[in-house]
């Protein structure tokens, strides 16, 4: 793993950002209809575990990553890194490392209550989708930035910021007709090693991306109604 850090903390006199007019390229004439249509689109989203090996156009992934990069972040530090993996050999290495951690987790570390909660979903330590799916996106959170001179600049609310960006990425991929699976093997340090990420980047999530396998089925999910997830004051 690369390590280019120095102990000194980067400091620089702050400079106010230039101000520009706020421009919206899309202002729906029927906002209620627009909000309902987007809800209906996202309500179709399902996590899948059976993927087609059909290739995904890299430009689609790039555009969706640009969308993720528009997410709000603490002090606008944008503390995320997205690693796109399509190489079959690298995907195989990731699968082997993930299954090793998952086997240990299911057999030794997972609480009984969690195993009972996962049982209806049919998940276990076998993760063939990590090789079958055409694209994996390893998402890293950066606790700080390392400047060109090796000095450090702290990032604020990095985990929250990366979580928001990840949600926006999932929405963008679904909007583009792709399916996803959020995979969080515990621990995920093997991703840092296999992808040779610097020590100030910590694995946040592994997103599996592709098209669903023909005939794939998904659990029939119950979604909590609005009155159970929202309060209006």
CA 9 to chain centroid, in Å, comes to: 29
Query: Is residue 21 assigned to a domain?
Result: no
Query: Is residue 187 assigned to a domain?
Result: yes
Query: Is residue 27 assigned to a domain?
Result: no
Q: What is the pTM of this model?
A: 0.88
pLDDT digits (tens, 9 = 90+) for 96-106: 999 998 888 77
Query: Is residue 220 assigned to a domain?
Result: no
Q: Give me the CATH number covering residue 152.
A: 3.40.109.10
Distance in Å from the first CA to the final CA of the chain: 50
Distance CA 173, CA 184 (A): 19
Distance CA 141, CA 206 (A): 12
- Reply yes or no on whether the pLDDT at 146 is more than 70: yes
* pLDDT band per the 50, 70, 90 thresholds, residue 128: very high
Name the domain count of the chain.
Answer: 1
- Evaluate whether 219 touches 123 at the Cβ level (below 8 Å): no
Query: Is residue 100 assigned to a domain?
Result: yes
Query: Is residue 233 assigned to a domain?
Result: no
- Evaluate whether 206 touches 187 at the Cβ level (below 8 Å): no
Query: Is residue 23 assigned to a domain?
Result: no
pLDDT > 70 in the chain, percent: 94
Q: Domain range holding 151?
A: 50-212
pLDDT digits (tens, 9 = 90+) for 5-62: 454 444 455 678 899 998 887 888 899 999 999 999 999 999 999 999 999 999 999 9
Torsion angle, alpha carbons of 168, 170, 176, 179, to 10: -170
- Reply yes or no on whether the pLDDT at 92 is more than 80: yes
Across 115-139, average pLDDT? 88
Name the maximum alpha-carbon separation found in the chain: 58
pLDDT digits (tens, 9 = 90+) for 194-219: 999 999 999 999 999 999 999 999 98
- Reply yes or no on whether the pLDDT at 73 is more than 50: yes
- Evaluate whether 144 touches 155 at the Cβ level (below 8 Å): yes
- Reply yes or no on whether the pLDDT at 120 is more than 70: yes
Q: What is the pLDDT of residue 102?
A: 83
Across 152-178, average pLDDT? 97
Query: Is residue 34 assigned to a domain?
Result: no
CA angle 2-6-10, nearest 5°?
120
Q: What is the pLDDT of residue 220?
A: 87
- Reply yes or no on whether the pLDDT at 175 is more than 50: yes
């Amino acid at each position: 793993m690369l390590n280019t850090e120095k102990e000194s903390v980067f400091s620089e006199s702050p400079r106010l950002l230039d101000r520009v007019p706020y421009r919206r390229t899309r202002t729906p004439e029927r906002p209620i209809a627009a909000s309902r249509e987007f809800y209906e689109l996202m309500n179709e989203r399902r996590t899948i575990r059976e993927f087609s090996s059909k290739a995904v156009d890299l430009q689609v992934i790039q555009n969706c990553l640009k969308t993720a990069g528009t997410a709000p972040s603490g002090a606008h530090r944008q503390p995320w890194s997205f690693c796109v993996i399509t190489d079959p050999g690298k995907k195989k290495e990731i699968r082997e490392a993930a299954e090793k951690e998952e086997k240990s987790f299911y057999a030794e570390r997972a609480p009984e209550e969690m195993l009972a909660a996962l049982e209806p979903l049919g998940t276990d330590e076998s993760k063939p989708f990590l090789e079958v799916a055409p694209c994996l996106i390893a998402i890293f959170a950066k606790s700080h930035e390392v400047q060109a001179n090796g000095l450090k600049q702290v990032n604020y609310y990095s985990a929250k910021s990366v979580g928001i960006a990840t949600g926006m990425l999932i929405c963008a991929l679904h909007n583009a007709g792709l399916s996803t699976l959020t995979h969080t093997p515990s621990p995920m340090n093997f991703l840092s090693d296999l992808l040779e990420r610097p020590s100030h980047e910590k694995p946040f999530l592994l997103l599996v991306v592709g098209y669903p396998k023909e005939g794939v089925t998904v659990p029939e999910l119950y979604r909590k109604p609005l009155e159970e997830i929202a309060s209006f004051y």
